[in-house]
Structure 1
Amino acid sequence: MNWGTRIVIVFACFVALIATMITICMRQDVSLVAQDYYVQEIAYQDQIDRIKNASTLGGDQMQVDFDRNSSVLSLNIPNKTINKGEIHFFRPSDASLDKKYNIRLNDSGAQNFDLTTFKKGLWKIKINWNKDGKEYYEEQSIVI
């Protein structure tokens, strides 16, 4: 085999490798953290203010407890003084599994969420609420 044939074989192998890499890359699922990522990034100062507001609450801050045995997440808010709120169960590895619920507290200021149908792994709980005209935000991570 002469050197011209070897060059053609190396070139053909290189083209096959590049074609394989392009095929693999095109089949990958690309999930963004959020569809409106750039809009959220521009308004991030509002998010910083919400986090700061939540940290200044002190004893009135909400309690989030997760019981791994029963797969129940309990949200407890002392004095149930929120006007409205939302809890977002965020799955970093798969955006299609994300779930959002409105906060509806019972008479004792608690709400339970059954997580038995949730896929096992890391979840972030993002809680937004409004109290006396101020907005608040808290985030916690759990492993189911």
Structure 2
Amino acid sequence: MKWNWGTKLVIGMACFMSFIIILAVKMFNSSPDALVDNDYYEKGLAYDKEYHLKEQVKTDHAKPEIQVGTDGIILTFKAPAEGKVNLVRTADKRMDKMVQINTDEQYRAAIPLTGIAKGRWKLIINWNSAGKSYLDEQEVMVE
């Protein structure tokens, strides 16, 4: 069968249009990007406050020491503290956890590892100590 140039042109255009339509359908049916934050506007407004809390940690040399053991994560503070720790799993947002903390006599707080999967976690520690507020972020590896 011999095809002339007009038939070849129509077949080529049909293949190209089919390709574009398939890409458009795939784009609309794909899941949203994990790197895009849903509440970016609210976080942008709160950035200045978070920045000052992080700078307060540096000014007062109040960065907590973190030790990861087999049974839990131990946070050691410079003074008595109370607050919360957000455990963020960057790979899966559904695994994120929030834990309330209060220090003991040695200024330590323990976070049990029950229900926490092995892997890399980001700890966002937000606490009050001696009338001041602090915010610190550190990454840990739970094994």
Superimposed CA distance per residue, residues 29-86 of structure 1 (whole angstroms, 9 cap, x where no aligned partner): 433664322122123111111011011222x53211123xx26321122332x2x311
Asked if structure 2 preserves the Cα contact closer than 8 Å seen for 1:33 and 1:95, the reply is no
Residue number in structure 2 paired with 1:65: 67
Quote the Cα distance in structure 1 between the aligned partners of 2:118 and 2:14. 44
Superposed CA offset, 1:14-36 (max 9, x none)? 23322332343332243366432
Q: Distance in 1 between matches of 2:7 and 2:71?
A: 64
Tell me what 1:4 maps to. Answer: 6
Structure 1 portions without partners, runs of 5+: none
Select the residue among 22, 27, 35 that pairs with 1:20. Answer: 22
Equivalent pairs, count? 139
Larger mean CA deviation between 92-101 and 10-19 belongs to 10-19
Structure 1: 4+ residue segments shifted above 4 A: none
Pairwise CA RMSD of aligned residues?
A: 2.4
TM-score (norm 2): 0.78
**Correspondent of 1:30 among 9, 30, 33:** 33
Give the TM-score normalised by the residue count of structure 1: 0.78
1:94 matches 2:92:
yes
CA deviations 1:82-106 (Å, max 9, x no partner) are: 2x31101112232222111111333
Which 5+ residue runs of structure 2 have no aligned equivalent?
Answer: none
State the identity %.
Answer: 29
